[in-house]
Amino acid sequence: MNVEKFVRKPILAIAILALGFLPACSRLMAQQELDNKAVLKMAKAGLSAEIVSATVSANPGHYDVSPDAVIALKKAGVGDAVIAAMIAKNSGGGAQTQASAGGAGFALASAPSAVSNANGLPPGVDSVGVYVKDATGNWAEVDAEVVNFKTGGALKHISSAGIVKGDLNGNVAGFHSRLGLHSPAEFILYVPEGTSPGEYQLIRFRVNSNSREFRSLTGGVAHTSGGAARDTVEFTTKKIAPRVYLVTVGGDAGRGEFGFLPPLESTGKNVTSSGKIYTFTLGD
């Protein structure tokens, strides 16, 4: 029996298989490089923005992030955090998920939310409203709740500018907000044209068994004495873009139920009977 011939045949067969397997490996590695189509496929499959962003950051890929392509991604339902991760990947780095240690509280450049869109706004901030920085460092819009106002004699005084002045009692259904946050919490106020952040009031609710109540001042005047002062919390803002302001609500505010109350509208001779307030619960 020819032992050498017997051994040589399996070795030759293995070599042939290996030569055929190498191109397949190359094709497989090439398929792992992600692009816009891969991101759209993951988004349409129902994967969360966090998973898609992490996949983009962890895998090789090249993305079309031209304005038209970004608009197409947005229309297809791809979130801002995912688009920001694609932009960061193209620039040679992955999206960071937290601020660097010892960084300033207002340093936006240390998180993925600091990657500005073409209009200078942080990703996720695209319309007038209130936004909060979530646990992943991205900006998410704060849902507004309906607030009902109790009208009274003080509301019938109209200033020369057409703004109703006086104390205003507000009531919000439910004893707590759906949004729970740890202190300190970072917010963005994207204010309407012609509005200053000083016209917003940070309200501390008085909690009842089935509602939250407060007394505020109409016209956005929050720094006067009187009954309304006890339910308002002073805050400072930092402008980061036109009509966009950063606010940090920290330990000084304490624990409890809070809300950002935008300027109230007046209709005729009375303030509107209902409005909206952006609520949150602040814990330790």
pLDDT in tens, 73-131: 888 888 888 888 888 887 765 433 333 333 333 333 334 444 455 567 889 999 999 99
CA torsion angle 107 112 114 117 (round to 10):
180
Residue 74 has which token pair?
């947005």
* Range of weakest confidence among 18-22, 67-71, 133-137, 229-233: 18-22
Q: Hey, which of 46-55, 210-219, 243-252 has the most confident mean pLDDT? A: 243-252
- What's the mean pLDDT when you consider all of the chain? 75
Write down the pLDDT at residue 20: 54
Write down the pLDDT at residue 121: 83
**pLDDT confidence of 186, banded at 50, 70, 90?**
very high
Between helix 80-90 and helix 36-44 the angle, nearest 10°, is 160
Inform me whether the pLDDT recorded for 48 exceeds 50. yes
Four-residue CA torsion sign, 153, 159, 162, 168: negative
Write down the pLDDT at residue 92: 64
Inform me whether the pLDDT recorded for 223 exceeds 50. no
- The pTM of the full predicted model, rounded to 2 decimals, is 0.54
106 against 178, higher pLDDT: 178
Write down the pLDDT at residue 52: 86
